[in-house]
A and B are shown apart, each in its own frame.
Chain A
């Protein structure tokens, strides 16, 4: 009843692949997403570098990317993926769409975190004659830090969900294992094991994020 053809080694490989995909796309996604979030906040009406053109251009672009389900985005940008990593299958090929999927999402989350910062702080910054860079670096980001950690936690968990679909392009990972072995070969053990692994992973990441944010906020 509890028999399965999938080995522990396969589970380990899949787990590492998931971590790889999440880690790499989170890194590059943040590299793109955090500046996007900052741009949204500073160019918005009343922002420190108010720029109607930039804001009205950026805003819908983010919405467009965000409105695509990941599975469709994955297929739709295959030419772009091929251009960047010169292949359209495998883990590397899954990472490109994952980045494009998560960057605007992070952008929105960062935007929300930064908007929570007390406008009085920004007024104080301006009264000190800060440059826009100084406002962002010395006031905006430190004040939003705890909230940014929670935003990135949410983004990471979103990414874990998206990696399950990476199997479509042969990306591997825990989710792929569950679909290929568990669903298509009726291997209940794999499905259950995958679910448990994912629950533990998500719980762990959320707790880590909460702990970090609490530590920063304590003072």
Chain B
């Protein structure tokens, strides 16, 4: 659906070249809700603007539906853009036009008939739940309502892709949720592929099925949201995951841990199917080890459960090794942790 192939983007400001993207490759499949997360300055805004060619790559290719956008003529590119809707952090609605006319704009540009426009706009306003606001001006609306207008406008020309540029970053948490639910419906009911950039991990957790983590113009990690949340490899990713999932022992519990020889502390990550099996029980039955649970937490992502359990194991060295390999062989991600260096700073 969307394929970005080894894209570099360099901006030149006052003679100084700044490389915003340093070799990005990613693939968004049809029906995905693909999230790109990163701190500000990571290059994610530039990345999403490549997909509708608001920014042209300095090097590399951007393919939409198998067509290289760079190979299009100006006219073909304009036509291709009608197939890609976009919503913005600050909504970018026309303050001088009523809600109805804002939503109608893409259809006016397509020179649709008045009757067709009226029908489509009415339908879209109903979809986003703003039928009663058709005659209002944007400055009479709340932030969430403005973004709903933005979504309706982006959908007017019946696109197959929707790009969301920090679409919820200017909204409060409750409004954010309702907008995310709306985007989920856009994806499900209209079968529109959604690409979202954000700096909030909760956005990714709530609606994305795939995620790419960006840092300094590069993608440092990407995959299914469940995998990335379950096994974050990179420090930045781990820090992002920590913002939505608690996975470390609380300080008061940490103080009570007595360690010595014959005691190991392990962090177990259960992803998906492994959460439904009584694995800890079976491990204890099969091996001569004592288990003390120091921390446990489950989170739901993509209708699957992600569990984190931190246990203290006591027993013979060989028995403990057997216990750990039993868990590993059953698909549990086991990570040895030193309780004295557990990191709380980024929580």
Contact = CB atoms under 8 A, between A and B. Distances in A.
Interface stretch (A51-59, A75-83, A139-147, A157-165): A139-147
A178 B94 CA distance: 47
Contacts of B109: 128-130, 134, 138
Given A129-B82, A134-B109, A219 B77 contact: no
Contact of B54 (A127, A131, A219): A127
B contact residues, range: 20 to 34
B78 A131 contact: yes
Interface string A144-174: 0110000000000000000000000000000
Interface SS of chain A: helix, strand, loop or mixed?
helix
Given A121-B94, A138-B105, A219 B88 contact: no
Interface in A88-146: 118, 120-121, 123-124, 126-131, 134, 138-139, 142-143, 145-146
A130 B163 CA distance: 17
A143 B96 CA distance: 6
Contacts of B92: 118, 120-121, 123-124
B79 interface: yes
A216 interface: yes
Interface centre among B77, B92, B98 (most CB of A within 10 A): B92
B96 A127 contact: no
B88 A129 contact: no
Contacts of B52: 127
B65 interface: no
B90 A127 contact: no
Given A128-B106, A128-B109, A129-B109, A219 B137 contact: yes
Given A123-B88, A138-B108, A219-B139, A129 B95 contact: no
A117 to B, nearest CB: 10
Contacts of B54: 123, 126-127
B72 to A, nearest CB: 11
Contacts of B137: 219
B78 A129 contact: yes
Contacts of A131: 78
B151 to A, nearest CB: 13
B84 A127 contact: yes
A120 B90 contact: yes
A124 B139 contact: no
Nearest to A139: B94
B98 to A, nearest CB: 8
Given A138-B105, A139-B94, A129 B86 contact: no
B81 A142 contact: no
B96 A128 contact: no
Greatest chain B CB density within 10 A among A124, A134, A143, A219 is at A124
Contacts of A216: 96
B81 A143 contact: no
B247 interface: no
Contacts of B139: 219
A180 B10 CA distance: 66
Interface string B66-98: 000000000001111110111010101011111
Given A138-B108, A219-B137, A124 B86 contact: yes
A146 B86 CA distance: 27
A121 to B, nearest CB: 5
B257 to A, nearest CB: 53
Contact of A143 (B84, B88, B90, B94): B94
Given A124-B88, A138-B109, A129 B97 contact: no
B90 A142 contact: no
B157 interface: yes
B65 to A, nearest CB: 15
Interface centre among B81, B90, B96 (most CB of A within 10 A): B96
17 contacts: A118-B92, A120-B88, A120-B92, A121-B94, A124-B86, A126-B54, A127-B84, A127-B85, A128-B157, A129-B77, A129-B82, A131-B78, A142-B97, A143-B95, A143-B96, A216-B96, A219-B140
Given A127-B81, A130-B78, A219-B95, 18 more contacts: A120-B92, A123-B54, A123-B92, A124-B86, A126-B81, A127-B52, A127-B84, A128-B82, A128-B109, A129-B77, A129-B79, A129-B81, A129-B82, A138-B109, A139-B94, A142-B96, A143-B94, A219-B140
